A and B are shown apart, each in its own frame.
Chain A
Amino acid sequence: MLELSHHILDIIENSLAAGASAIKITVIEDNSRDILSFEVADNGAGLSVEEIGQVCDPFVTSRRLRRVGLGIPLLQQAARACEGDLVIKSEKGKGTAVKATFQLSHIDRMPLGDVASTLVATVAAKPDIDLLYNHLVDGREFVFNTGWLVSEFKELPLNEVRVLSWIKSYCRDGIKKLYLSE
């Protein structure tokens, strides 16, 4: 993985494989606390207490639990290398929330990267997804929600290529503005 946004996509893939119809992604960059965190919360199948204990072990999980393989251990390793950690909260039948934290200024922290592409890949995977993306940088906020697009477009699936291109440029522009301090 070269970017945190690759990890975000990887976690989203787990959510989709778990049958999620709604996914909420929250990215927070806080310079005063020197923290970068992201959370992917879904309404998928959820994990049992035993399964939560196993997802961070690449050797136990790789084949027995098909929904999760190396993705979670890789992210955990990346977070811990940057004075952060990975926390998984889940309830069977309710959904799963995976939250990774990093020291924002840590030399080993990967760049957040191209989150807009991650969002586009998610919509291409599941055009009827209820996707809510929230990105905060020192109090400035960008929100992207597929809910209104799905209701506006109704019979037209969101994976039409021109719509995907629009989502990419809309999110890219919106996220770029977060880093311009006024």
Chain B
Amino acid sequence: MMKQIKSVDELMKFKEAALDKIKERKADGKTTIVVGMGTCGITAGAREVMMAIIDEIDKRNLSDVIVTQTGCAGMCQHEPIVEVNKPGTPQIVYGHLDEDKARRLVFEHVINGNVISEWALVQRD
């Protein structure tokens, strides 16, 4: 586990290291995690879910994972909704998440590559 960046100097050092990493990186190996951040998602706790995902990725020092967001997907009753696109695994839309589930998602699906099927709303192979 790497320590958290506290000062602006440390942030700039991180910038140099991250730029080197980007040069080495293969563009196709990235995992993207998309959090639904419509009014429905925000009300159901999507921001907290996103922060838990970011924190877990930071703690575990994972590279090649991008966390982003989208609007309402029309399944408001299943919010908070998160879509995980990891190369080599099925694309999964997970629903009814919370902070704890989001952290487990990072561990099970993003790191280990195991789909948590009981939380999956949609699966595209």
* A→B interface (CB under 8 Å): 1, 6, 9-10, 13, 17, 69-71, 74, 114, 117-118, 120-121, 124-125, 152-153, 155-156, 159-166, 168-169
Given A125-B37, A156-B22, A162-B58, verify A120-B51 contact (CB < 8 Å). yes
Given A117-B47, A124-B54, A165-B4, verify A156-B39 contact (CB < 8 Å). no
What's the Cα separation between A9 and B50 when bound, in Å? 13
Contact (Cβ within 8 A) A165 B5:
yes
- A163 contacts which chain B residues (CB < 8 A)? 11, 14
What's the Cα separation between A13 and B18 when bound, in Å? 28
From A118, A152, A155, A169, B6 is in contact (CB under 8 Å) with A169
- The chain B residue with its CB closest to the CB of A166 is B5
- A120 contacts which chain B residues (CB < 8 A)? 50-51, 54
Contact (Cβ within 8 A) A74 B54:
no
What's the Cα separation between A27 and B51 when bound, in Å? 22
* B→A interface (CB under 8 Å): 2, 4-6, 11-12, 14-15, 18-19, 22, 37-39, 42-43, 47-48, 50-51, 54-55, 57-58, 62, 65-69, 71-72
**How many pairs of residues, A versus B, come closer than 8 Å at their CB atoms?**
87
What's the Cα separation between A162 and B21 when bound, in Å? 13
- B43 contacts which chain A residues (CB < 8 A)? 1, 6
Contact (Cβ within 8 A) B58 A9:
no
Contact (Cβ within 8 A) A69 B72:
yes
Scoring B15, B42, B51, B57 by chain A CB atoms within 10 A of each residue's CB, the highest score goes to B42
What's the Cα separation between A70 and B43 when bound, in Å? 11
What's the Cα separation between A172 and B6 when bound, in Å? 12
Min CB distance, B30 to chain A, in Å?
12
- The chain B residue with its CB closest to the CB of A71 is B39
- The chain B residue with its CB closest to the CB of A173 is B6
